[in-house]
Amino acid sequence: MNSLFPKTLIPSTSLSSSTRLTLTPNSLRHFKLHLPRLMSSDSSHRLFQLKLDPLTGNSEWVVIEDNDDLPDCSKEPLLATTSYLDMLNDSFRNKAFRSGIERTVTKPCHVLDIGAGTGLLSMMAARAMGLNGTVTACESYLPMAKLMRKVLHRNSMGKAISLINKRSDELEVGVDIPSRADVLVSEILDSELLGEGLIPTLQHAHDKLLVENPLTVPFRAVTYGQLVESTYLWKLHDLSGIEAKVSDGIHLVPTGSDSIIHVKSRQYPMHCDAIREEIKPLSEPFKIFEFDFWKRPESNGETKVQVQVIDDGNIHAVVSWWVLQLDREGTVFYSTAPRWINSPANIGYRDWCDHWKQCVWFFRGKGMSVSQGEEVLLEATHTETSVSYNLNVQVPKTDTRQHDHNIRDFQLLLSPERIAIYGDSKWRSSVLAAVRNALQGRVNPLCVVVDDSIFLTLLAANLSKTSHVLSLFPGLREKGAQYLENVVKANSFSMDRVEVREKRKPCLTLHDTHGKKVDMLIGEPYYYANEGMLPWQNLRFWKDRTLLDPILSEDALIMPCKGILKACAMSLPDLWSSRCCLGDVEGFDHSIVNTTLGACGELPAPKEGPFLPFSIWQCGEIKELSEIFTILEFDFSKPISSCHGTAQVVHAMDLFYGWIGLWIQIILL
């Protein structure tokens, strides 16, 4: 029994106390995941947006024309999974930018707003000038530009602000804008600060769009960090160290091959306050980089920080955040620091919000052992879009590369969540027991691993010396085959009993199985790079099982055999505050954006709040309002079919901050 699918939240106001949910094969197929991959053609007229069918893994380009209306959002709010709504509900952010703009834009001038969104900052700038200056709003994402036009019209700002649907690096003075701008207002920041292209955007703006020595809002950004010890964070990246404590005979990371599986070297956004009890600070906060918006930034930078250790422990990670200075005088600030940091009184603490989190950088292996009073050298490097860190750690003599030269050029990158699952001894033991029971009494079985599970592939080959294992690896593909070749010896089987399908085909046939029908069809289920979806969007295993039905033997074993859609009514006031309907935002009416952005609360009929994929433990304050209940079941032993369920939710719907948390519990056998 396991629950691997990401939990999903829907606001309780969209459900009655007797909740009915119906899913059909057709509806499952047409749940689409909007991905932020965009390509423009004649950028002011047309946009191509990539959509993924989660049940097949196939993708398609959808064309959005400039003269099209925004699509009907009654069933699927177009921009619900973006961060726009959360940002607009962040009152600390809104007030800080308003104060910064009013202190900076004090007379009529030309203001350029890059990444204008709904036009909030543009309208603030226009208001600060008494509608007498010039405001150019640049918004490259066509659906948002359409929405901004509606917001400007609602607030009688359509004539005061010139909206251009282009990337800022496509703007030309004398063509798109009348002259170089005197003031830049922009909020193209992510949790890492640089990930949305802040540096190249500022470089181009200073080179082509701004006057010399322009005024800017924000004025400056400073990044900070803190060295921490955390077993919780360690388990998210060091599979080698975790697996050393597991004795099930499966070696995802063989001895001496520590780097064969690891997470991508990058900063991971995370609400660190949620795991405050799991974090032990090993240093005071320290300054890392400073970026001045009012001058042209460099593409790359390096710094070395001598950090004094304040307690004994192992340095597992760097927790980082940033502080914005909105005005030149240094009176208006905004910080993304965790709450355990003692921020100066003039910065203060913001409310919980999801659009800007702290970031975590993992140090490889078991961490660096340090003692109180010791000093360590932290090296930080930034590119145009990211920041990385390194500690002055001596490479141990037992380094992987001295053990096995065959694997030094191969590395399999997995997400922190997947590494934590593979390191979970309880999860491993339950899966091992299920596969062992499934193999009992079977002679020369053909076992098909339908998903991207390297663990099940190794397990099936290890537990049965007569089995033939065919792994489809639809996402990993050749990476999966390379990985198996590198770990085959450590897991006591030969590759002549394991086959990886090389070519991607619509479906397996008896020709692919050499005329033999499938005895076992198994999956975790896990599909590489397909995480963070709604629970039912992860029913791809059921879809694959259905396609393979013609080549299954009569007594074929399907694992997992069942999925159960579970639910619980919850109070999540922090999440509610960040997703609630908008009205007045710093003096500007934003009620028109609620449906498109997927707001929750008092929506006009028949509009409903959206389904949102969230990790519930990252949602701020949490309180369960009901017992866990079952909505419906998915029988994987049979081909995919329509299913429905009804559940009674008791004593929950009258509470204002109510949500329904949904997840799928997996029954292996």
pLDDT in tens, 627-646: 999 999 999 999 999 888 88
Cβ within 8 Å of residue 308, ≥6 positions away: 283, 284, 373, 374, 375
pLDDT band of residue 293 (cuts 50, 70, 90) is: very high
Catalytic residue among 76, 170, 196, 485: 196
- Asked whether residue 539 falls in the same domain as residue 603, the answer is no
pLDDT of res. 409: 66
Q: Which domain holds residue 105?
A: 83-217
pLDDT of res. 65: 61
As a whole-number percent, the residues of the chain with pLDDT over 70 amount to 84
- Asked whether residue 369 falls in the same domain as residue 435, the answer is no
pLDDT of res. 452: 95
> pLDDT by residue (tens digit) across 326-358?
999 999 999 999 999 987 766 877 889 999 999
pLDDT of res. 393: 52
Higher pLDDT, 313 or 244: 313
Count of the separate structural domains present in the chain: 4
- Asked whether residue 543 falls in the same domain as residue 500, the answer is yes
pLDDT band of residue 647 (cuts 50, 70, 90) is: confident
Catalytic residue among 139, 187, 192, 243: 187
- Asked whether residue 467 falls in the same domain as residue 540, the answer is yes
Rounding to the nearest 10 degrees, give the CA dihedral for residues 332, 334, 338, 341: -20
> pLDDT by residue (tens digit) across 64-94?
566 555 554 444 577 888 899 999 999 999 9
- Asked whether residue 212 falls in the same domain as residue 347, the answer is no
Max intra-chain CA distance, the chain: 84
Per-chain mean pLDDT for the chain: 86
Looking at the predicted structure, is the pLDDT value of residue 655 above 80? no
Of the three residues 183, 217, 251, the one that is the final residue of a domain is 217
Cβ within 8 Å of residue 413, ≥6 positions away: 262, 263, 264
| Bridge partners of residue 489, in order along the sequence | none
As a whole-number percent, the residues of the chain with pLDDT over 90 amount to 67
pLDDT of res. 40: 42
- Asked whether residue 377 falls in the same domain as residue 255, the answer is yes
Residue 274 in any domain: the answer is yes
Higher pLDDT, 318 or 28: 318
Lowest mean pLDDT among 86-100, 407-421, 642-656: 642-656
pLDDT of res. 534: 83
Of the three residues 560, 581, 607, the one that is the final residue of a domain is 560
Residue 44 in any domain: the answer is no
- Asked whether residue 269 falls in the same domain as residue 369, the answer is yes
Residue 482 in any domain: the answer is yes
pLDDT of res. 404: 43
Query: Average of pLDDT values for 100-116?
Result: 97
Query: Average of pLDDT values for 287-310?
Result: 97
- Asked whether residue 335 falls in the same domain as residue 226, the answer is yes
Query: Average of pLDDT values for 458-463?
Result: 92
Residue 133 in any domain: the answer is yes
Residue 7 in any domain: the answer is no
Of the three residues 560, 587, 615, the one that is the final residue of a domain is 560
Active site residue 187: yes
d(CA 430, CA 427): 5
Looking at the predicted structure, is the pLDDT value of residue 399 above 50? no
Strands 181-186 and 110-114: parallel
- Asked whether residue 536 falls in the same domain as residue 658, the answer is no
Residue 39's Cα: distance from chain center in Å? 21
CATH code for position 122: 3.40.50.150
Higher pLDDT, 562 or 649: 562
Cβ within 8 Å of residue 420, ≥6 positions away: 235, 236
Query: Average of pLDDT values for 614-624?
Result: 91
Query: Average of pLDDT values for 399-413?
Result: 57
- Asked whether residue 552 falls in the same domain as residue 446, the answer is yes
Residue 504, φ and ψ in degrees, nearest 5: -80, 115
pLDDT band of residue 57 (cuts 50, 70, 90) is: low
Looking at the predicted structure, is the pLDDT value of residue 32 above 90? no
Residue 71 in any domain: the answer is no
> pLDDT by residue (tens digit) across 152-199?
999 999 999 999 999 999 999 999 999 999 999 999 999 999 999 999
- Asked whether residue 211 falls in the same domain as residue 281, the answer is no
| Bridge partners of residue 361, in order along the sequence | 318
Residue 72 in any domain: the answer is no
Lowest mean pLDDT among 99-113, 229-243, 409-423, 529-543: 529-543
> Is the whole model's pTM more than 0.95, yes or no?
no
- Asked whether residue 420 falls in the same domain as residue 324, the answer is no
pLDDT of res. 55: 65
pLDDT band of residue 659 (cuts 50, 70, 90) is: confident
Residue 284's Cα: distance from chain center in Å? 29
Burial 151-171 (b: 16+ CB within 10 A, else e): bbeebebeebbebbbbbbbbb
pLDDT band of residue 491 (cuts 50, 70, 90) is: confident
pLDDT band of residue 44 (cuts 50, 70, 90) is: very low
Directed axis angle between helix 425-439 and helix 454-463, to 10°?
50
Residue 372 in any domain: the answer is yes
- Collapsing DSSP to helix, strand or coil, 148 comes out as helix
In 3D space, the residue among 213, 227, 157, 159 whose CA is nearest the CA of residue 181 turns out to be 213
